[in-house]
Amino acid sequence: MTDKGIVTRPIGRSGIEASAVGLGTWAIGGWMWGGTDEKQSIDAIRASVDAGVSLIDTAPAYGMGLAETIVGKAIAGQRDKVVLVSKCGLVWHVGEGTYFFEQAGKPVHRYLGPSSIRYEVEQSLRRLGTDYIDHYVTHWQDGTTPIAETVGELLRLKDEGKIRSIGASNVSEADLAAYLATGALDAIQEEYSMVKRDIETSFVPTCLDNGVSILSYSSLALGLLSGKIGPDRIFADDDQRHDNPRFSLGNREKVARLMHVIRPIADQHQASVAQVVIAWTLAQPGITFSLCGARDPTQAIENAGAARLRLAEHEVSTITAGMKDHLVELDR
């Protein structure tokens, strides 16, 4: 692939710039991904940073603090090279809010009360080994706490220098409107990929109109669009993809046909299929960042390469047409 500079983009109106491709660390936390290898994970994070990726996305819920701890170890001594994203709102230190799931034998609730957020940010700062988080996101929304109250505490933390910008994830249209009404929202973080494009008609127009960035997660659809999961793949029982209808044999066969459209474009750029999929994602209106998981240095370096790849307009159109031909009626 022709070596070009890493594409960087702003996080809303915060004044913070970050690489358009970010490293997502959900898998590094191990939960729902069959465990984790700490050394390999640290190597993956450092390989991302060395390859020019500045945006590192994590959360307390990823392994109940494990992913944040690993990120903290990996970025020690190079904090200035990283734009750090972490989150609040999935809690196990209190039983308030709404029960969501159980992890490691503990009930996890959605809760965004001010005192809880303050406790969470302090815990995250400690695990991450830093005194500020560049972009702080409400991970899942809490129907028991008014959004204005939640944002009020986030603004206080921003005034104190503990966070630098404010985001929200997994929002409804009503949630987004409430966040926008505060005037404090810099970005939202939502699932978006070739197989999940609903935000194009819901959130994207609103965010474009209001100068709000979108961090897209699961750009490779948990690996379905990586070009490495064919119809013959078998998933372990503790892999969340084991019983996921999106990974049905029929779906993998449809995706395999789409790969035949993408592969010649990848070959033209001396790139991988996954890199082209990520580049296509970043070429979509309103999609500012693409968060991509990596569990080893090879995956991390491959994902970083997508931030150097510029697809021509006709290549983006060819891929989009191929999606219409091959991804219809995909199982969800």
Hey, which residues are catalytic here? Answer: 62
Cα–Cα distance for residue pair 8/79, rounded to 1 Å: 18
Expressed in angstroms, the distance from the first to the final Cα of the chain is: 34
**246 close to 224: Cβ distance less than 8 angstroms:** yes
Cα–Cα distance for residue pair 299/308, rounded to 1 Å: 15
Phi and psi for 122 in degrees, rounded to 5? -65, -40
